[in-house]
Amino acid sequence: MEGRVAELSQVFDGLQAQLKGFEERVDRRFDAFERRFEDVNRRIDGLDGKATRLFMWAVGIQVMLFTATIGAILAR
């Protein structure tokens, strides 16, 4: 009986070691995923700022053209 309990204890210890190894691999993958996710967020923030600047330029050009058109119409 004692031999059987010792054998089961070894099996249990082996399962614990395997589970710990699996947990470490999963943690490493999630850490890598988080780093990639943060990088993507930084890129999106950069694009957001660029899109905002381009939008402001487009609005400015439209206001300028509208003002020039109104000025040309009133000058007649």
Which amino acid is present at 21? G
> Residue 22 has what pLDDT?
92
pLDDT at 4 over 90: no
> Residue 65 has what pLDDT?
97
Residue 63 CA to residue 18 CA, distance in Å, equals 67
Chain segment 9-48, per-residue pLDDT in tens: 888 888 999 999 999 999 999 888 888 888 888 889 889 8
Chain segment 37-49, per-residue pLDDT in tens: 888 888 898 898 8
Task: Break the chain down into helix, strand, coil percent, rounded to 5.
Answer: 95, 0, 5
